[in-house]
Amino acid sequence: MNALANIPDTTTVLQNGPGSALLEVIEVYKAFGSLKVLDGFSMKLFSGENVAIVGKSGSGKSVLLKCIIGLLPYDSGIIRVLGQDVSQLDQRQLDRLRTEIGFLFQGSALYDSMTVRENLQFPLRRHMDKMQNQVEEELIRETLASVGLEHTIDLWPEELSGGMQRRIALARTLILRPQIILYDEPTTGLDPITSREIIELILDIQKQYGTASLIITHDMQCVRLASDRMVILHEGKNYATGSYGDLKKRNDPIIQAFLETS
Amino acid sequence: MAPGSKYQEGQGWHFAYSKVVQFFQEVGEMALFSGRFFRTFWQPPFEWREFINQSYNLGNKSIFLVSLTGFIMGLVLDLQSRPTMMEFGAVSWMPSMVGITIVREMGPMVTALICAGKIGSSIGAELGSMRVTEQIDAMEVSGTNPFKFLVVTRVMAATFMLPLLVILGDACSLGGSFLVENLKGNVSFHLYFNQVFEGLEMGDIVPSTIKTFFFGAAIGLVGCYKGYTSKKGTAGVGKASNSAVVVASVLVFVLDFIAVLIADLFYEL
C-alpha cells in the first residue's frame, strides 16, 4: 500500500497550468543597512524542474531562500509561491503555504532532542493530526526507504554521519510531499562520494515525486548533474540564466569564472 | 588620566554611557519578548503535550538537587541557630523559628536560585544551540510556530514547576532541621512538626507561595529570551547560558524584594 496516497490533499491555491511558474521572484530588493544584497533580482521556477543558483559567498543566495520561505522580509518586489504573494500572507496562510515548500538546511537542522522517527513525525503530527498511527508509521518508513535509511528509524541525530543527517533532513522535508524543495548548499561539507549520493538523491526525488527544486550551491558538479537550468546571482541581480551547457558556451568572463571551477 | 591607562580622557565616560544604553536596550528587548509571550500564550492551539514533557523534564531533573540542598540548608540552619537559642533559653522555639524562616524566605529563595542555575542555564543552552544550528528556523519553515512550541511551553512549565520544587525543598529543609532536633534535643517527629505548623500562619504561606510562581516565570522567560535570541555561533550559546543564570538570579532577588514590600503593605493594613 502506498502510504503517501493517504495524505490529505493540502495543495494550496493554484492549479498550475502547463508551463506556469510555481515560484516567481520579481524585481526583489533586500538590503542590510547600506549593504545591498538583492538588487532587483528576478527568476522563475517551473513545475518539475531543478534550478541551481550560483554566486559568490555572501552574494545573497541564502538570503534569497529565506525571503522565499518567509523567514526574512524583503524590502520591495514580489515573491509569488504557488500563486500567492508571500509578503501579503498572514501567519496562518504562510504556515499553510510552508507545508507545500520543503527546505533542506545546510547543516541539516535535525531536532537533536528527537529520534529519527520523531523528527519525521513532527511535521506530520502538526499538520495531519487525524492520521492513524499505522498509516503514519508506514509513511515514515516509506519516506526513510526513499532516502535509503529505513534502518536508522530509532537512532538519534548524533549517531548519524553528516551525509546520513542530510538524507534524514531530506526525508523530513519530503514527508509532507511538498511541491517545491529549496536546497541550501546540499553538498557542502560532504566528501565527493557522499556528495554524489546526495546529487543522485535530488534527481531521484525529482523523478519520483515530481517536485521542483531550487538549489543554492557552490558545487559545480552538483549544478552540472542535478540542475536543468542555472541562475548566476551576481551583484544582487540575475546575471545569467540557462542550462549548464549553454552558459559554458558563452564568452562572458564572469560566467566563465564560475564555470571554470568545475 | 594616568598615562598607559586603558581608557583615554573621556573614553571612560563613553564606555559607561554605552553600557547604560546597552542595559536599557536589553531591558526593553526582554520586555518586548515577555509581551510576545503573553500575546502568543492565548492563541490556540496550546501545546499540551510539549508542556507536560517540559514540566516533567524541568521538575524531574531538579528534584535531587533541590532535595539535597534543602536538606543541608535545614541541617545547617538548625545547627547554626541552636547554640544562640540555647543561650536565650529559647530552644523550644527552634521548630517554629526554622519553619517560619524556611517557608517565608529561605526555601523559596534558595530553591529559586538553584533553579535559576539549573533550569535557566539548561533552557538558555538548549534554545541557543537550536538557534545556531537552525533548528528553530527548521521548525518555522515546517509551518510550526517555534515561539509557541518552545518558549510558551517552557515558561509555563517553569512557572508551575517552581512552586512544587519549593514545597519539596521546604519539606526537605524541615526534615534536615528535624534530624538535628531529634538527635540533639530528642524531639519527636510529631512534636517537631506540630510546633512548626503552630508557628506558621496563612500570612507566611500564601505570599511566599505566590511569589514562587513569579520566580518560575522569570527564570523561564530569561532562559528562553537568552537562548531564543542568541547569536554569534557556539560562543553565543555559552554566553546565552551564562547570562541566563546571572540575569535570572538577579531578577529573583528583585522580585523577592518587591514581594516582601507588597506583603509588608498588607500586614500594615
Lookup result for grid cell 502568543: B40
Chain B residue closest in CA terms to A182: B141
Alpha helix segments (H runs only) across B2-47: 11-41
**How high does pLDDT run on average in chain A?**
86
Quick check: bond before B45 cis, omega within 30? yes
Q: Give residue A257's pLDDT.
A: 86
d(CA A120, CA B125): 24
The Cα of A240 is separated from the nearest Cα of chain B by a number of Å equal to: 29
ipTM here: 0.83
Nearest to B137 among A101, A109, A172 (CB): A109
Q: Give residue A4's pLDDT.
A: 42
pTM for the whole structure? 0.84
Model confidence at A28, pLDDT cuts 50, 70, 90, reads: very high
Q: String of b and e for A172-202 (b: at least 16 CB within 10 Å)?
A: bbbbbbbbbbbbbbbbbebeeebbebbbebb
Question: Please, what is the end-to-end C-alpha distance for chain B in angstroms?
Answer: 54
CA angle B96, B100, B101 (to 5 degrees): 115
The set of cell numbers assigned to A214 is 531550487
**Chain B residues bordering chain A (beta-carbon distance below 8 Å):** 126, 129-130, 133-135, 137-145
- DSSP single-letter state for residue A131: -
Contacts of A7 (CB under 8 A, 6+ apart): A128, A139, A176, A177
B233 conformational bin, left if phi > 0, alpha if psi -120 to 50, beta if neither: left
Determine whether the interchain pair A71/B140 forms a contact, defined as Cβ–Cβ distance below 8 Å: yes
For residue A2, is pLDDT > 50?
no
Domain boundaries, chain B: 36-268
The Cα of B77 is separated from the nearest Cα of chain A by a number of Å equal to: 40
Determine whether the interchain pair B142/A110 forms a contact, defined as Cβ–Cβ distance below 8 Å: no
Determine whether the interchain pair A107/B126 forms a contact, defined as Cβ–Cβ distance below 8 Å: no
| pLDDT tens, position by position, A187-210 | 888 888 888 989 998 998 888 888
- 8 Å CB contact between A51 and A214: yes
Contacts of B124 (CB under 8 A, 6+ apart): B222, B223, B224, B226, B227, B230, B240, B241, B242, B243, B244, B245
Give the percent of chain A with pLDDT over 70. 92
Q: Give residue B8's pLDDT.
A: 63
CB < 8 Å to B135, chain A? 109-112
d(CA B29, CA B106): 31
- Residue A156 touches partner B, C-beta closer than 8 Å: no
CB < 8 Å to B145, chain A? 91, 95
**Tens of each residue's pLDDT in chain B, 269 residues:** 455 555 566 678 888 888 899 889 989 999 999 999 999 998 888 889 899 999 999 998 899 999 999 999 999 999 999 999 989 888 889 999 999 999 999 999 999 999 999 999 999 999 999 999 999 999 999 888 899 999 999 999 999 999 999 999 999 999 999 999 999 988 999 999 999 999 888 888 899 999 999 999 999 999 999 999 988 677 888 888 899 999 999 999 999 999 999 988 877 66
The Cα of A229 is separated from the nearest Cα of chain B by a number of Å equal to: 25
Residue positions counted in chain B: 269
Chain B residue closest in CA terms to A109: B135
Determine whether the interchain pair B142/A112 forms a contact, defined as Cβ–Cβ distance below 8 Å: no
Q: String of b and e for B216-246 (b: at least 16 CB within 10 Å)?
A: bbbbbbbbbbbbbbbeeeeebbbbbbebbbe
For residue A58, is pLDDT > 90?
no
The set of cell numbers assigned to B200 is 506558621
Q: Give residue B4's pLDDT.
A: 52
Model confidence at A133, pLDDT cuts 50, 70, 90, reads: confident
Q: Domain range for residue A194?
A: 3-259
Model confidence at A8, pLDDT cuts 50, 70, 90, reads: very low
Beta strands in A35-156 (DSSP E): 35-46, 50-54, 76-81, 84-85, 101-104
Nearest to B133 among A103, A109, A126 (CB): A109
- 8 Å CB contact between A221 and A195: yes
The set of cell numbers assigned to B16 is 559607561
For residue A10, is pLDDT > 50?
no
For residue A232, is pLDDT > 80?
yes
Asked whether the CA dihedral A125, A128, A130, A132 is positive or negative, the reply is: negative
> Which residue would you say has higher pLDDT here, A228 or A58?
A228
A45: helix, strand or coil? strand
d(CA A212, CA A218): 19
Q: Give residue B1's pLDDT.
A: 46
Model confidence at A7, pLDDT cuts 50, 70, 90, reads: very low
- Residue A109 touches partner B, C-beta closer than 8 Å: yes
Nearest to B137 among A71, A122, A126 (CB): A71
Determine whether the interchain pair A105/B145 forms a contact, defined as Cβ–Cβ distance below 8 Å: no
d(CA A27, CA A236): 10
A46: helix, strand or coil? strand
d(CA B21, CA A207): 56
- Residue A165 touches partner B, C-beta closer than 8 Å: no
